[in-house]
Structure 1
Amino acid sequence: MKFLYTNMYQKLRYTFVVCLLLTGAIANAQITLQSPYSKFGVGNIKGSLLPQLRAMGGISTAVNKVNFFNNINMQNPASYASINLTTLDIGMAAGFTELSNSTQKENSFNSTLSHVALAFPVTTKSALSFGIMPYSELGYNFINSTKVGTTTDNTKTVDYRYTGEGGLTKAYLGYGIQFGDHLRVGANAEYLFGNLLENRSTEYVNEPGAINSRLQAKNSVGGIGFSYGAQYDISLDSKTSIMLGYSGSSSSKINSKRSQVVTQYYNDSQGNEQTAIDTLVFVENAPTNLKMPLVHNFGISIQKNNKWLFGADYRIGKWSNLTIDNVNQGLQDTYGFSVGGQITPDITAINGYFKRVDYRFGFQYDKTYIQMAGQDIKQMAVTVGLGLPLSSFGRTLYKMNFSAELGKRGTISNGLLQEKYINFHLGFTLNDKWFSRFRFD
């Protein structure tokens, strides 16, 4: 008897090429985000969530499989232990943002490839996963105008210009394993990399002879951190169970290189910037680090197999400990919660496609790590989504997952800014059995 593997090698090679191409696209994606709040810390944190979890308000700590279909939940690597088919997930994201204060409004649009992730079982009770996705986004451009001077005759208008772009990307490799019938544990090794580019200029308005100055800073990040998790399920009957979950990330020091240039320059009579007349500071690729915070997530869910799931998460983060270039960033500790669920009317329905669709919904609330004018900046959103089964071919199953988030960050009171946003996430998930073998006589 001879045992022949399926075309596993060709599939892995194809997947590897796709992952490489998408990795380059994600890592070099142009961030067109316009969010003044991304100026703080490492930018706006994206979260390690695929569309199917975002649609449920972001619950993930106590979620692995709602039905027979496999999904990748890298937010809690313990969930990998429930994966019994090779699972590939590729997605994209887009969002509209309205930025406003008490007198003005401004709209922006941002789109990017959002993730690529692969998972496959190693044994009947363990699985391996790896992938790449955005970790944070940095994008802002605003001016703060003020008057300087001691008398009416020498008072001048000064523009303080702030711009930033870039962000961080996370690549991970994780493993999850089940012990006994109820306990699962797992861990991810995560490589965080990217560039944070920020400029700050001081310009005198309508003063052609005045000397202006600009600080240009670049932080090139590249280092390893770790996350981990556990899940424990309690059976209520043959189809219904409660799951308890925990996940967290370590307080890691991520290597980075800091470059900084301070220049002086003139503007001509039309306000156009001229060639720099002097360089006051020049630092290139000075080794330093970025100290990430300790983060904890706690979750609970109850589900009836192949029918429904409802759950809640609570999270806290020690972002007051974040340092960049050994300088504390003056951020606040965070906390937040998510609630959500999924309902599938009849997963076995032959007639009636929409009975087999997963209907998802949720709500999330967070106190962010930003405080301005003595006021905490808070964020909240309602979420909805669909899991749409696609045509299957043999043993290969496909599903398209869509989610939408309608939310806001900040407030217009006390002269602050408010962001209202609609984010869309689209993912394509494949389930297949790549590692089976056939017997020929």
Structure 2
Amino acid sequence: MSKKIVFIILCLVVVTTYGQNSSVSPYSYHGIGDIRAQSTVENQSMGGLSMYTDSIHTNLKNPAAYGKLRLVNYTIAGGHSEIRMTDFTASQQTSVTSLEYIAIGIPLTPKLGIGIGVLPYTSMGYNTFSDNISARQDTIANQYGGEGGLNKVFLSAGYEITKNFHLGATVNYSFGSLEYRSVQNIAGVQYGVVNTKFSQIKGFDFNYAATYTPKIKGRFTLFSSITVNTQANLVSQNEETLGSFSTITGEVIEGRDVNLDAQNLKNTELKIPTTTTLGLGFGRDKRWFLGAEYSLQGLSSFRNEFVDQNNIIYEDATTIAIGGYIVPDYASFTSYAKRVNYRFGGRYENTGMIINGKEINDYGITFGLGFPLGSGFDNINLGLTYGIRGTATANLVEESYFKVNIGLSFNDKWFQKRKIN
């Protein structure tokens, strides 16, 4: 009961403070914002692998894992990132702190488990400037800014079809809003032009998974996994205003709503293409594991009709991830360090965005520690990620980031009948 109370208090604290923008990247302007990790600290620390499953941890990206659960699992996490953005002239340091996820996994029977939770899906937050010279030799200043993001609530279920073979499915409901602002003014002119676009977005998608984890020679386990996150069909309800503002006070002098109905842009669709992930790994339970995954998303078909993004081309996105863990001696009574779970990994992602003719890639290395609490299966998980995204050429920005995640994983027993001797 005490674990439930602690978990509820943590949820209330996180929800109360939630809402802080979790992106400062100019790349979040494109698509529907930066796509968040959407996996637990444990999985993020292993290069982002979703294929590893066990009986005491929730797996947010692989619903087949819920069929393995033997204990109720409460999990919650937050993250903090330090980011350095560098272009061809200067660099800037900034940081963000955000919620990672809140979830509960529940085993209903020895073969069936479910999971529910909420987590950020995307985040947008950018503020950029540019100057150019008009044909009349006037200096035109442009400022672009945006904020918002989408959240996701999910319901998952996993079931053991036969020994070591599990199937699972998740239904996701995404919702949120994105706001884009552009401001333009000419040097020496009292008034400028401001344009604001706002999108209220919502919709469903589904995630299907299958895992097969047979024993090899009694001691080892072969891990194989396939997940298919189907196309998300999101509906965007749009608004746009256009007006003038005073360059002295910053006050909007006149603003008018743009007739989007006449342009068939009042309601548009955002189709986030299907992502397919294949994974293969090998290990010994509670001792060590090593695996790799390959993901493919048909991002070349993505379009956002409402927001003009002339400088970007989308191509299919791919991700390669490797990772694993080592536990020196999970049953050690003499050394706490031997019971710690040491996680590691790396990943390389072709994001599918080509901006100003340059591919935007993201690669990083990860490390994590799982600290046992007491004699049970509870643990505190620490994850560290260092990565680089983008390029400082072609008027773009290279982002180097260091991220720290902290997650709590509590376990409990439900639905067990009391026995009287």
TM-score by shorter chain over 0.5: yes
Alignment partner, residue 39 of structure 2: 49
Are 2:123 and 1:137 equivalent residues in the alignment? yes
Are 2:325 and 1:342 equivalent residues in the alignment? yes
Counterpart residue type for residue 35 of structure 1: S
Alignment partner, residue 4 of structure 1: none
Are 2:26 and 1:40 equivalent residues in the alignment? no
The 5-angstrom pairing of residues 317-336 of structure 1 reads 317-324=297-304, 330-336=313-319
Deviates more, 1:251-260 or 1:158-167: 251-260
Shift of 1:18: 5.2
For residues 23 and 319 of structure 1, the distance between their equivalents in structure 2, rounded to whole angstroms, comes to 33
CA contact (8 A) 2:219 2:284 kept: yes
Give the 3 Å change call, closer, same or farther, for CA 122–156 of structure 1 in structure 2: same
For residues 20 and 286 of structure 1, the distance between their equivalents in structure 2, rounded to whole angstroms, comes to 36
CA contact (8 A) 1:322 1:328 kept: no
Point out where structure 1 has 5 or more consecutive residues left out of the alignment.
Answer: 1-6
Give the 3 Å change call, closer, same or farther, for CA 111–16 of structure 1 in structure 2: closer
For residues 360 and 409 of structure 2, the distance between their equivalents in structure 1, rounded to whole angstroms, comes to 35
Are 2:368 and 1:378 equivalent residues in the alignment? no
For residues 184 and 280 of structure 1, the distance between their equivalents in structure 2, rounded to whole angstroms, comes to 52
Count of residues in correspondence between the two structures? 415
For residues 212 and 324 of structure 2, the distance between their equivalents in structure 1, rounded to whole angstroms, comes to 19
The 5-angstrom pairing of residues 56-205 of structure 1 reads 56-60=46-50, 62-65=51-54, 70-149=56-135, 154-205=136-187
Aligned equivalent of 1:274, options 232, 245, 251: 251
Give the 3 Å change call, closer, same or farther, for CA 206–326 of structure 1 in structure 2: closer
Q: Greater RCO between the two (CA within 8 Å, min separation 6)?
A: 1
Alignment partner, residue 3 of structure 1: none
For residues 180 and 277 of structure 1, the distance between their equivalents in structure 2, rounded to whole angstroms, comes to 67
* Structure number with bigger Rg: 1
Name the SS of the counterpart of 2:360 in structure 1.
strand
CA contact (8 A) 1:56 1:361 kept: yes
Residues 155-210 of structure 1: per-residue CA shift (max 9 Å, x gap)? 111111110111111111000001111211100000101111111122112322xx
CA contact (8 A) 2:243 2:252 kept: no
For residues 231 and 275 of structure 1, the distance between their equivalents in structure 2, rounded to whole angstroms, comes to 57
Name the SS of the counterpart of 2:330 in structure 1.
coil
For residues 122 and 30 of structure 1, the distance between their equivalents in structure 2, rounded to whole angstroms, comes to 35
For residues 326 and 70 of structure 1, the distance between their equivalents in structure 2, rounded to whole angstroms, comes to 44
For residues 326 and 410 of structure 1, the distance between their equivalents in structure 2, rounded to whole angstroms, comes to 25
Alignment partner, residue 418 of structure 2: 438
For residues 243 and 417 of structure 1, the distance between their equivalents in structure 2, rounded to whole angstroms, comes to 38
Alignment partner, residue 207 of structure 1: 189
For residues 22 and 247 of structure 1, the distance between their equivalents in structure 2, rounded to whole angstroms, comes to 33
Give the 3 Å change call, closer, same or farther, for CA 19–318 of structure 1 in structure 2: farther
Shift of 1:286: 4.0
For residues 17 and 287 of structure 1, the distance between their equivalents in structure 2, rounded to whole angstroms, comes to 38
CA contact (8 A) 2:49 2:322 kept: yes
TM-score by length of 2: 0.92
Deviates more, 1:78-87 or 1:250-259: 250-259
CA contact (8 A) 1:19 1:116 kept: no
CA contact (8 A) 1:411 1:418 kept: yes
Counterpart residue type for residue 317 of structure 1: Q
Residues 56-87 of structure 1: per-residue CA shift (max 9 Å, x gap)? 11111x2102xxx6111121111111111000
CA contact (8 A) 1:31 1:165 kept: yes
For residues 306 and 134 of structure 2, the distance between their equivalents in structure 1, rounded to whole angstroms, comes to 32
CA contact (8 A) 1:321 1:328 kept: no
TM-score by length of 1: 0.88
For residues 37 and 45 of structure 1, the distance between their equivalents in structure 2, rounded to whole angstroms, comes to 11
Give the 3 Å change call, closer, same or farther, for CA 438–179 of structure 1 in structure 2: same
Shift of 1:17: 5.3
Alignment partner, residue 338 of structure 2: 355
Are 2:208 and 1:216 equivalent residues in the alignment? no
Shift of 1:11: 7.8
CA contact (8 A) 1:186 1:230 kept: yes
Are 2:409 and 1:424 equivalent residues in the alignment? no
For residues 178 and 381 of structure 1, the distance between their equivalents in structure 2, rounded to whole angstroms, comes to 34
Residues 9-67 of structure 1: per-residue CA shift (max 9 Å, x gap)? x987x5895587367447x511053211111101111122111111111111x2102xx
For residues 144 and 106 of structure 1, the distance between their equivalents in structure 2, rounded to whole angstroms, comes to 16
Alignment partner, residue 348 of structure 2: 365
Name the SS of the counterpart of 1:37 in structure 2.
helix
Residues 393-423 of structure 1: per-residue CA shift (max 9 Å, x gap)? xxx5310001010000011233421000001
For residues 90 and 360 of structure 1, the distance between their equivalents in structure 2, rounded to whole angstroms, comes to 19
Residues 360-408 of structure 1: per-residue CA shift (max 9 Å, x gap)? 111000011221221111110010010000124xxx5310001010000
Deviates more, 1:402-411 or 1:272-281: 272-281
For residues 124 and 295 of structure 1, the distance between their equivalents in structure 2, rounded to whole angstroms, comes to 30
For residues 7 and 172 of structure 2, the distance between their equivalents in structure 1, rounded to whole angstroms, comes to 18
Give the 3 Å change call, closer, same or farther, for CA 39–106 of structure 1 in structure 2: same
Aligned equivalent of 1:228, options 193, 204, 208: 208
Counterpart residue type for residue 380 of structure 1: Y
For residues 230 and 135 of structure 1, the distance between their equivalents in structure 2, rounded to whole angstroms, comes to 23
Give the 3 Å change call, closer, same or farther, for CA 283–18 of structure 1 in structure 2: farther
